[in-house]
Amino acid sequence: MSTEVLLEELEVLESIYPTELQRVSERDIHIEAEPDDPADGAEAVKVTLCVSYPDGYPDVLPNLSLQAEETNFNENDVQGLINDLRAVGGENLGMAMTFTLVSHLREQLSKLVQSKADELERAEEARTRGTPVTPETFTAWKIKFDKELALKKAQEEEDKLRVLTLKEREEWKKLGTRLTGRQLFERNKGLEDETLLEEGTISVDITQYERTREEVEPEEAVTFSDSD
C-alpha cells in the first residue's frame, strides 16, 4: 500500500475522531474507544486501540493491540476483544478497515461492560440472599454453634471460679453435679425408682375419692306461734 493511500485514510479518520485519534508515527496510530451503549450505573470505560500498518495493508491485517489499564478487564477479556477485531479485519481484507474495526470495538465494549455489570449484580444478590439452608449445612452449623456455646460457658465458669475461695469452688462444683427437679422427674417417670421414695409411703389413687354432689335436705324448720 502506498503512503499516499494510507495518508488519505488517516485524514478521514482524523475528521471522524478529532479528539480520540493520535498519530504516533507515519504508520502507527492510537484511537481511544468507549462503549456505544454504556450500562446503567456502570463505571465509564475507555480503552486505546493501537494500530500499526504493515507494508501490505490493507491486503494484510494491521498489527493490533489494546491498552485497558484503567478498566476492570482481565487478560482474557482483552485477548477476546483483540481476537474479535482480527476476525472482523479478516473479513475486510483489501479495504480500508480501521473505521470498521473501531466501530466493532465499541459494540464489543458495550457487551462486555454489560456482562461485567450483570456479574456484579448476581454476586451482590447472592451475598445479600445468603446461603440456602439444607440438612447438611444446618447440621454443620449446629455442631459449630454447640461447640462455640460450650466454650463460652466453660470460659464463663472459669471466670467465676477464679474469684471464688477454695471452699466456694467446691460448693460451686457440687451444685453443678446436682440434678434439678425436672431432671429428677424425667429420670424417674412414674416414680419407678423406689430409692427416691420415703420408707412406708403409700400410693394413693385419688380417683377413689371423687366427690359427687349430694342434695342435702334442710333441717326441719322451727316455727313460733303467737297463740301459746
Residue range 104-145, pLDDT digits in tens = 999 999 999 988 888 888 887 877 776 677 888 889 888 998
Average model confidence (pLDDT) across the chain: 80
Domain boundaries, the chain: 3-127
Is the pLDDT at 67 greater than 90? The verdict is yes
**Which of these CATH numbers, 3.10.110.10, 3.90.550.10, 2.40.110.10, 3.40.50.2300, describes 3-127?**
3.10.110.10
- More confidently predicted of 210 and 170: 170
- Per mean pLDDT, which range of 1-15, 87-101, 107-121, 171-185 is the poorest? 171-185
Most confident of the ranges 23-27, 135-139, 204-208: 23-27
Query: pLDDT at residue 42 above 80?
Result: no
Q: For residue 30, is pLDDT > 90?
A: yes
State pLDDT tens for residues 140-167. 888 998 988 888 888 887 877 777 787 7
Three-class HEC string of the chain: CCHHHHHHHHHHHHHHCCCCEEEEECCEEEEEECCCCCCCCCCCCCEEEEEECCCCCCCCCCEEEEECCCCCCCHHHHHHHHHHHHHHHHCCCCCCCHHHHHHHHHHHHHHHHHHHHHHHHHHHHHHHHCCCCCHHHHHHHHHHHHHHHHHHHHHHHHHHHHCCCHHHHHHHHHHHHCCCHHHHHHHCHHHCCHHHCCCCCCCCCHHHHCCCCCCCCCCCCCCCCCCC
Q: Which residue has the higher pLDDT, 151 or 181?
A: 151
The confidence score (pLDDT) of residue 181 equals: 59
Interval 38-64 mean pLDDT: 88
**208 vs 99, which has greater pLDDT?**
99
Confidence of residue 228 (pLDDT cuts 50, 70, 90): very low
* pLDDT for 212 beyond 60: no
